[in-house]
């Protein structure tokens, strides 16, 4: 036996799970494809975001809020375990609407979640005047914003570094640079091929878009597709933006990060001038003073999207010992993955709130 638990995928999802399982006393090896992989963990926006998550799926809203509430302690723990400050700030966040219809749709979305949660879902709408008091830099054309007090952001690169460092410091092993090509049940549990051959008692699939290929090997399904987002990074400036928005945030070290696209273009993570200029244009309408900032780089990255945009958590009945974790929000959910989800993966009873997250929900919809 090479390892007790094999985690397939060394991005934010895989490393959060690996780190959490290790905390439960499991001996864990991470199998990571390496730098050729499409890495949402490198390209993502870094939000710890509650607002708007869980429309028509209240358990996802609850799960997201649970993670947001665990984040402060999680960040402290990582600072201690890894010596890395992940730059967590949770002052609340703004979803900004340029037009009245956009604002109405946004408010309606949040109100439907609030109703599903029996009223326990904090947010407030700020019109342009109210918003200007909170954020003097806001543009005159902005209709308003919803403020969610639980929202925040981190530096996702420091988060990945912290998880690696803490995991390795506590004796975790990582096999980088070789793609897992095959997983099959064996007498000991699972045989994993990545040029070499490894044996593990349990296996957890955390390989983002790669889960679509790997899941059927252990009797599971992961119908995830890439959804591209493009991101701009501006030069570093002195801190001036306190509140992150869904599109614009100032990172801990001063750079302003802007991202605002959703494109179904397959496995293509290029950035394109047309989309970049649209993103920049919208950003300047939100904060006109950004027009004076230089853009120093841009990139495209692929979100990992399930058909309804919500996470998939599953355990295989055909191949007991195999679990699957996939989501679009690897940053937001890192805390709840590392602190709560791992107990279920390690063998505890499934928490009630997770029942609806199986990929079986997509089959049922097809029948209906």
Partner 1 sequence: MPNDSSFARLPDRPAVPVTIYFEDRPVVACEGDTVAAALLAAGHDMTRTTAVSGAERGPFCMMGICFDCLLEIDGEANRQGCMVDVRDGMRVRAMSGARQLAGAGHG
By CB under 8 A, tell whether 248 contacts partner 1.
no
Main-chain dihedrals φ then ψ at residue 115, nearest 5 degrees: -65, -45
**Cβ 295 to partner 1 shortest distance, Å:** 12
Q: Structure tokens of 29? A: 């090896």
Listing DSSP states for 273-289 in one string gives HHHHHHHHHHHHHHSGG
- DSSP 8-class letter at 217: G
By CB under 8 A, tell whether 253 contacts partner 1.
yes
**Cβ 257 to partner 1 shortest distance, Å:** 15
Quick one: which of 250, 261, 306, 358 contacts partner 1 (CB under 8 A)? Answer: 250
Quick one: which of 237, 265, 353, 354 contacts partner 1 (CB under 8 A)? Answer: 237
Quick one: which of 100, 235, 350, 355 contacts partner 1 (CB under 8 A)? Answer: 235
Q: Considering only 1-9, 198-206, 231-239, 357-365, which stretch makes contact with partner 1 by CB under 8 A?
A: 231-239
**Cβ 78 to partner 1 shortest distance, Å:** 19
CA distance 175 to 166: 16
By CB under 8 A, tell whether 238 contacts partner 1.
yes
Residue ranges in 282-321 that form contacts with partner 1 under rule CB under 8 A: 289, 292-294, 296
Instruction: Please check whether residue 43 is in contact with residue 301, taking contact to mean a CB–CB distance below 8 angstroms.
Output: yes
Side-chain-side CA neighbours of 185 within 13 Å: the count stands at 13
**Cβ 354 to partner 1 shortest distance, Å:** 37
Tokens 């029948």 — which residue?
367
Binding track, positions 125-144, relative to partner 1; x by CB under 8 A: -----------xx-------
Calculate the alpha carbon distances from 107 to 103, 209, 257 in Å: 6, 32, 25
CA distance 13 to 91: 24
**Cβ 237 to partner 1 shortest distance, Å:** 4
Quick one: which of 73, 181, 186, 240 contacts partner 1 (CB under 8 A)? Answer: 240
Q: Which residues contact 110 (CB under 8 A, 6 or more apart)?
A: 51, 52, 121, 123, 146, 148
**Cβ 43 to partner 1 shortest distance, Å:** 20
Residue numbers at the binding site for partner 1 (CB under 8 A) = 136-137, 235-243, 250, 253-254, 289, 292-294, 296
């Amino acid at each position: 036996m090479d390892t007790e638990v094999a985690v397939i995928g060394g991005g934010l999802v895989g490393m959060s799970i690996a780190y959490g399982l290790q905390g439960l006393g499991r001996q864990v090896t991470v199998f990571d494809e390496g730098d050729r992989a499409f890495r949402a963990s490198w390209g993502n926006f870094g939000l710890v975001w509650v607002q708007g998550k869980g429309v028509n799926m209240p358990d996802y809203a609850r799960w997201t809020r649970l993670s947001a509430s665990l984040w402060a302690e999680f960040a402290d723990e990582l600072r201690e375990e890894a010596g890395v400050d992940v730059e967590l700030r949770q002052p609340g966040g703004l979803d900004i609407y340029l037009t009245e219809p956009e604002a109405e749709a946004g408010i309606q979305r949040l109100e439907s979640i609030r109703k599903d949660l029996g009223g326990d879902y904090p947010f407030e709408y700020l019109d342009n005047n109210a918003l200007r008091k909170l954020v003097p830099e806001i543009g005159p054309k902005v209709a308003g914003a919803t403020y969610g007090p639980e929202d925040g952001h981190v530096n996702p690169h420091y988060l990945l570094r912290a998880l690696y460092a803490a995991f390795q410091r506590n004796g975790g092993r990582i096999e980088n640079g070789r793609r897992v090509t095959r997983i099959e049940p064996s007498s000991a549990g699972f045989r994993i091929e990545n040029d070499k051959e490894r044996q593990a008692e349990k296996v957890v699939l955390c390989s983002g878009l790669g889960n679509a290929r790997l899941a059927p090997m252990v009797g599971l399904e992961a119908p995830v597709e890439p959804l591209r987002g493009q991101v701009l990074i501006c030069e570093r400036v002195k801190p001036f933006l306190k509140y992150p928005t869904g599109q614009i945030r100032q990172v801990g070290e001063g750079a302003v990060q802007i991202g605002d696209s959703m494109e179904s273009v397959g496995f293509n993570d290029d950035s394109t001038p047309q989309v970049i200029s649209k993103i920049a244009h919208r950003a300047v309408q939100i904060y006109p003073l950004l027009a004076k900032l230089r853009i120093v780089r841009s990139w495209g990255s692929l979100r990992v999207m399930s058909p309804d945009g919500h996470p998939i958590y599953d355990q295989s009945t055909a191949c007991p010992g195999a679990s699957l974790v996939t989501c679009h929000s690897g940053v937001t959910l890192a805390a709840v993955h590392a602190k709560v989800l791992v107990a279920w993966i390690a063998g505890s009873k499934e928490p009630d709130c997770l029942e609806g997250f199986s990929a079986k929900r997509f089959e049922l919809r097809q029948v209906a």
